[in-house]
Every structure is written in C-alpha cells, then in structure tokens.
C-alpha cells in the first residue's frame, strides 16, 4: 500500500541511537569473514551463503572486499572485537589474491581458485584507495603499499588528464579499453580522494577531486538541470541512450547518485576552504531535484529515471535512502533548513520501518511496493557500506581530517 509521507512513525535519532544502529550492522556483517580468505555473502538471516560452483556466487568482487575493510577499519574506533581481524584479513586478501602481480592493478572478482573476472575497473580501484585510507587510520601496516598500488593504476592507467576524470574498464593486460565512460567510478574516486586526503594530507588528492567534481557536477549536472548524467562516450559527450548492466550501468539517470554527490560536494567545499562558491548551491540543487523526481508515492526512491525525468525502474533499494540520510544531515550542518531536517527524519523513519531488519540484523536490500523484503537484485544482505555511513556520518564517527 502507499506510504503516507507525513505519517511515518518517528523515533529518536540521538547519538546513542545512531551508535546502536552502527553497532548492530558491525555485529551482523562480521559473519561474512570467510575462513578461506576474504569475505562471503550473507543470507537474509546473516548466515554465510554456501560456496557454489565457479561463477554462481562464490566470487569476491573487489569493491565488496574493500567496503568491508573500510567499514571495519571504522569499527576499530569503537574497539569492535572483530574489527582488527577483519581489516587484516581483508588487506591480506586484496594484496595476495585480488592483486594482479603480473600486469598491475586489481582483478574485478576472484574466488578460491583465482580470477573470475580479470578485467580492471576504475570503480573497483576507487574502493581500493578508500580501503587503504581507512586501513591506514586503523593502524594497518600494509595500508601505504595498498595506496601506492591503487594510485599507480589510477594515475597511469585510468586518469585522463585532458578531461580531468578517469576512464572505465580495461582487459587484464590493460588493453582493449572500453569506449564507454561513466560518472559512477568518478564519484567514488572523489570519495576515495577525500578519504586519502583526510588520511595523508596530500593536496594532490583534493586537486583531482575538484577537477572531477567541477566537470561532472559544476558543468554536466548543471547543464542537465541538476540531474546527474551517468553515461558518456570516449570524448566525454553525454550518451543519453546508453543501456548497460542494470546494476552498475543502468540506462537513464540514478537519483541515488545525485544524493551521494550532494554530500560529497559539501565535503569537498569544506575541505578546500570554502573557496568554490558554487558548490553549496549545487549540493542543494542536486538534493532537491533527487527528492522531487526520485521519491516514490509509496515511499522510497526509484532506482532509475528516464531521460524525461519519469520513473523507469521503481526498484526500491536500501542504498538511496541511506545516501539521502547522510546528504540531508550534511547539508543541514552547513546551512540549517527545516527542509533538510524533515527529509532526514522521513528517510530514517522509512528505513526504521521498512529497511532495518529488527529480527535478524542488517538492512533489507530491496522491498516491494507493500514494503515487504524481496531479492530481485541482490541475494541476501551483501553490503554494509551504505547503511553504516548513514549512521556514522550524522554521529560524527567518520575519520577526522589530519592537519
């Protein structure tokens, strides 16, 4: 049934409540630690999914491993009992199993027997840098090696100096680069550069993040009326008709990405000394447009929109709600506004009612129009990253910036 936006139950969102939610996520996803190395996917109750024949769910995707390292590095700040072990074993998997010691860079996915998808993707390498930055803050001795390996691939293989953004995908030996370009890996690289700057203080990371953001948001999103164009050709011309993988490169535009960008633009504006006057206005416009176009009558955000702004995929996933929470809190922190506070509460209330699994733990990754869990896109509960940051960002529990 449709969810009345103004009648969602309210619950306290104080610091203690946020910490409890983060703790519950860390406790639930710790079961993903695999004795064979790396991490395994979890089912709806939090039990590891069985290892199946190659290609049917046994692989570890690069971004999944890196997100676990990042998430449990943050857990070391509160002395979670499994945090250090998870970070260490995740780092070992990345360096010993996911790393390509012949050609450089990191395989997209591997299993116990070796690479499954050996291609090199900018999206995955952005998360390697994020993992390295957080592991460094957690005191891991291999973090700088991982950082250097990630940056070598980013600067020498993916970075396109003439455009100030990164390309997308290569074969294992760095040949056969796709003509396709996408904003998504660049968005996550902006996040990773901000994390790297917070960890090591190198201004080059902010310079690169600013170039990416200026092009994709200050130019492309502005020209599109603050909808974020997703797909481009090799010359970075918008390809509005692109239709690719429904999970990583879906056709149309993705309101959840505009919500992510709205937070990242504010963080970049603060980190660069508030010298880019256009950034707060851009962040506000991205947030408001995503709310206007993306929030569904039955509650939750549409996964994708068509080029005319209408809903093209009404899949109600968890992560856009999590990103809206973090964005609303971040925007309200710099320019208090009842609009942001209202949407912060609405999205948390929606998540509390429909997405947080109060019985088994974790968040449901997709719900149907009646608010019931479904597994149309994901099996089980494979990801901690988005939900965790929705808790930690408002709680002020992300890494402080080193000065």
User: Hey, what are 248's tokens?
Assistant: 């990583």
Structurally, how many domains does the chain consist of? 1
Provide the pLDDT confidence category of residue 56 given band limits of 50, 70 and 90. very low
Provide the pLDDT confidence category of residue 7 given band limits of 50, 70 and 90. very low
Considering the domain boundaries, does residue 219 fall inside one?
A: yes
Q: pLDDT tens digits for 323-364?
A: 999 999 999 999 999 999 999 999 999 999 999 999 999 999
Closest CA to 66 of 181, 153, 146: 146
Considering the domain boundaries, does residue 403 fall inside one?
A: no
Residue 271 has pLDDT above 90, yes or no: yes
Q: pLDDT tens digits for 272-312?
A: 999 999 999 999 999 999 999 999 999 999 999 999 999 99
Catalytic residue among 136, 188, 365, 386: 386
Q: What is the pLDDT of residue 11?
A: 52
Question: What average pLDDT does the segment 210-220 reach?
Answer: 98
Q: What is the pLDDT of residue 190?
A: 98
**Contact predicate 33/60, CB 8 Å:** no
Question: What average pLDDT does the segment 120-129 reach?
Answer: 98
Residue 53 has pLDDT above 80, yes or no: no
Closest CA to 68 of 403, 389, 383, 341: 383
CATH of the domain at 168: 1.50.10.10
Considering the domain boundaries, does residue 294 fall inside one?
A: yes
Question: What average pLDDT does the segment 224-235 reach?
Answer: 98
For 240-377, strand residue ranges (E) read 304-305, 311-313, 316-317, 366-367
State pTM to two decimals.
0.96
Q: What is the pLDDT of residue 3?
A: 46
Q: pLDDT tens digits for 165-206?
A: 999 999 999 999 999 999 999 999 999 999 999 999 999 999
Considering the domain boundaries, does residue 357 fall inside one?
A: yes
Q: pLDDT tens digits for 241-252?
A: 999 988 889 999
Considering the domain boundaries, does residue 58 fall inside one?
A: yes
User: Hey, what are 125's tokens?
Assistant: 């390498």
Active site residue 386: yes
Residue 217 has pLDDT above 50, yes or no: yes
Considering the domain boundaries, does residue 401 fall inside one?
A: no
Token pair 């891991």: residue = 140
Distance CA(351)–CA(192), nearest Å, equals 26
Active site residue 358: no
Provide the pLDDT confidence category of residue 58 given band limits of 50, 70 and 90. low
Catalytic residue among 257, 358, 360, 365: 257
Number of neighbouring beta carbons within 10 Å of residue 262: 29
Q: Residue 30 sits in which domain range? A: 5-395
Provide the pLDDT confidence category of residue 37 given band limits of 50, 70 and 90. confident
Considering the chain, what percentage of its residues have pLDDT values greater than 90? 87
Considering the domain boundaries, does residue 402 fall inside one?
A: no
């Amino acid at each position: 049934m449709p969810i009345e936006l103004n009648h969602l139950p309210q619950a306290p969102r104080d610091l203690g409540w946020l910490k409890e939610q983060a703790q519950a996520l860390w406790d639930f996803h710790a079961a993903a630690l695999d004795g064979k190395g790396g991490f395994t996917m979890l089912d709806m109750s939090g039990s590891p999914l069985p290892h199946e024949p190659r290609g049917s769910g046994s692989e570890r995707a690069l971004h999944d491993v890196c997100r676990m390292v990042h998430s449990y590095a943050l857990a070391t700040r509160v002395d979670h009992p499994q945090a250090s072990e998870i970070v260490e074993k995740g780092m070992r998997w990345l360096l010993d199993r996911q790393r390509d010691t012949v050609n450089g860079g990191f395989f997209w996915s591997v299993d116990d027997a070796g690479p499954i998808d050996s291609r090199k993707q900018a999206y995955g390498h952005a998360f390697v840098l994020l993992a390295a930055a957080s592991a460094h803050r957690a005191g891991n001795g291999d973090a700088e090696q991982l950082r250097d390996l990630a940056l070598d691939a980013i600067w020498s293989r993916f970075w396109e100096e003439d455009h100030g953004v990164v390309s997308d995908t290569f074969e294992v030996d760095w040949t056969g680069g796709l003509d396709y370009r996408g904003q998504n890996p660049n968005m996550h690289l902006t996040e990773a550069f901000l994390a790297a700057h917070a960890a090591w203080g190198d201004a080059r990371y902010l310079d690169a993040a600013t170039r990416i953001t200026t092009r994709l948001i200050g130019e492309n999103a502005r020209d599109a009326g603050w909808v974020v164009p997703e797909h481009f050709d090799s010359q970075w011309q918008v390809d509005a008709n692109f239709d690719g993988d429904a999970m990583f490169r879906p056709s149309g535009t993705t309101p959840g990405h505009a919500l992510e960008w709205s937070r990242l633009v504010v963080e970049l504006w603060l980190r660069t000394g508030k010298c880019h006057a256009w950034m707060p206005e851009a962040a506000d416009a991205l947030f408001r447009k995503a709310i206007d176009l993306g929030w569904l009558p039955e509650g939750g955000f549409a996964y994708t929109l068509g080029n005319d702004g209408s809903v093209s995929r009404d899949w109600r996933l968890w992560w856009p709600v999590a990103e809206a929470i973090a964005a609303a809190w971040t925007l309200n922190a710099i320019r208090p506004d009842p609009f942001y506070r209202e949407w912060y509460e609405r999205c948390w209330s929606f998540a509390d009612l429909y997405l947080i699994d109060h019985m088994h733990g974790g968040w449901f990754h997709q719900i149907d129009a009646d608010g019931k869990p479904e597994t149309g896109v994901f099996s089980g509960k494979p990801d901690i990253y988005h939900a965790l940051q929705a808790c930690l960002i408002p709680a002020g529990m992300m890494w402080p910036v080193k000065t």
